A = this chain, B = another copy of it.
């Protein structure tokens, strides 16, 4: 028996795929309705404007990001292990084609003018950073670097590696970060 996907979800699923892989400005309403197989009236009934659809897309990404991490790290208990799972998760997200981080991409595309978008993205990145700060605080590490500083800069390394994996179409930057942090916290 057919599992019916609701119209709103069909729209949002297609928009998610296209905004992420093809870019927000390079995705037109007409392509979305064609691929989702819905009427244009339905789209504007659920999302009053393309910008509302963008916000729904970002909220969905935010929710799924933390759900995905939760699932990915279940079974790990030691903070060191969880930190390594974090980088593994972000590597896994980039497989196989290095499309980058959806939050970074939208800011690069449309800037920070739209306050709702800016706050969603800033909030998302801030939550990742906080999560890592918590994990690093729990470590029994006594290297030369303050734990919070190490956590913040580890986060930035992962961010930079994600961007440069896309640019070079290569996993190496991300693998290099993993190697680095392993040495630092071993």
Copy total for this chain: 2
CA distance A145 to B185 in the complex (A): 11
> In the complex, which residues of chain B have a beta carbon less than 8 angstroms from the beta carbon of A149?
176, 179-180, 183
Q: List A residues 142-186 near B (Cβ within 8 Å).
A: 143-145, 149-150, 152-153, 155-161, 163-164, 166-169, 173, 176-177, 179-180, 183-184
CA distance A138 to B85 in the complex (A): 34
Min CB gap A20→B, angstroms = 11
> Which of B156, B176, B177 has a CB less than 8 Å from the CB of A176?
B156
Interface size of A in residues (CB-CB distance below 8 Å): 46
Min CB gap A166→B, angstroms = 6
Min CB gap A66→B, angstroms = 17
> In the complex, which residues of chain B have a beta carbon less than 8 angstroms from the beta carbon of A156?
156-157, 159-161, 164, 173, 176-177
A109 in contact with B108 given A25-B25, A156-B173 (CB within 8 Å): yes
- The stretch of A31-39, A47-55, A71-79, A99-107 in contact with B is A99-107
Does A110 count as interface, using CB distance less than 8 angstroms?
yes
Pick 29 A–B contacts, CB within 8 A, sort by A.
A22-B111, A23-B110, A25-B26, A25-B109, A104-B163, A105-B108, A107-B166, A108-B108, A108-B109, A108-B166, A112-B169, A125-B164, A126-B168, A143-B144, A145-B180, A149-B180, A150-B180, A152-B176, A152-B180, A153-B157, A153-B177, A156-B159, A156-B164, A157-B157, A158-B160, A159-B159, A159-B160, A160-B160, A160-B161
- Partner-B contacts on A (CB < 8 A): 22-23, 25-26, 100, 103-105, 107-112, 118, 121-122, 125-126, 143-145, 149-150, 152-153, 155-161, 163-164, 166-169, 173, 176-177, 179-180, 183-184
